[in-house]
Amino acid sequence: MAQMEAHPEVDAAKQRLIEAEEEYQRARADDYVVRLIRDSVIVDAHRAGLSSRAISELVGDIGQPNVVRARRRAVSRREVVPEGLLSPADALRESGLGPRAFILAVRTGSLATVELPGPIRAFRAEDVARLRSAK
């Protein structure tokens, strides 16, 4: 009889674990996308003529040496994104949204990421196009 009573507790614990893992994976995907977006926006700002010092002053929690590292990371990143999918930076550009609106769309589920091997996340081109037309 004691074993029968333990099942609801075990089932509840399993459900909580599943939910926690889903949220953890979602947060990891969001963090990855946000980091890539931030790096690509730093590169875009630099290409537009902002110095590393100016970018560092605007970003706030990133020192000038880290701005340089973020630019290098973004420029040297060679992720393999299959045909029909867009990297986070490309998806942001294609969406026509600003970084905040784009990241909010990812966080709210309006724009879903596609998991690729490793930590890589991408977006379906048609989902980004739909998001663009909805704005």
pLDDT above 90 coverage of the chain, percent: 23
pTM: 0.68
Q: 68-84, pLDDT tens digit by residue?
A: 777 777 766 666 788 88
Considering Cα of 113, then 32, then 100, then 68, what sign does the dihedral take?
A: negative
Is residue 66 over pLDDT 60? yes
- Phi, psi dihedral angles at 114 (to 5 degrees): -110, 125
- Phi, psi dihedral angles at 84 (to 5 degrees): 90, -5
